[in-house]
Amino acid sequence: MNSRARRSSRRALLNVAALFVIVCSVFPVYWMLNTSLLPASVIKSSTPHLWPDQATLRNYRSAISDEAFIAALRN
């Protein structure tokens, strides 16, 4: 009983550590997505927005309609 409890607590600790690594590893990727969805005024506000609560696809629209981007993609 005691050893099982110890094993399960070890497992929990391991999972917490794994979660920490996952967060560290993914965060910049997430942050890139988050920033890409926010309008410039929100990005440059004094409090950072941790999730895209004012999400807009405007950045993507402007990127797709940008001649230089299309040319680079074609290349």
Partner 1 sequence: MTDSATAESHLDPARVAAGSSPGRDRRSRRPVPKVPFLLLAPAVVMLAVFIGWPLVQLVIMSFQKFGRAQIFGASPEFIGLGNYLDVLTDPQFWTVLGRSVALCLVCVTATMVLGVLIAVMMKNLGRTMRMALSIALLLAWAMPALTATIVWGWIFDTQYGLVNFFLTKVTGDDWTGHSWLIDPVSFFAVAAIIITWGAVPFVVFSVYAALTQVSEEVLEAASLDGAGGLRRFRYIVFPSLRPILVVLLILQIIWDLRVFAQIYALQTIGGVRAETNTIGVYIYSVSMASGDLGSGGAIAVILVVILLLISAYYVRTMLTQEDS
Interacting residue ranges for partner 1, rule: CB under 8 A: 11, 14-15, 17-19, 21-22, 24-26, 28-29, 31-32, 35, 43-48
- The minimum distance between CB 48 and partner 1, in angstroms, equals 5
**Whether the Cβ atoms of residue 61 and residue 49 lie closer than 8 Å to each other:** no
Q: Which is nearer to partner 1, 22 or 57 (CB)?
A: 22
Strands (E) in the chain, as ranges, are: none
- The minimum distance between CB 10 and partner 1, in angstroms, equals 9
CA-to-CA distance for 9 and 65, rounded, in angstroms?
Answer: 53
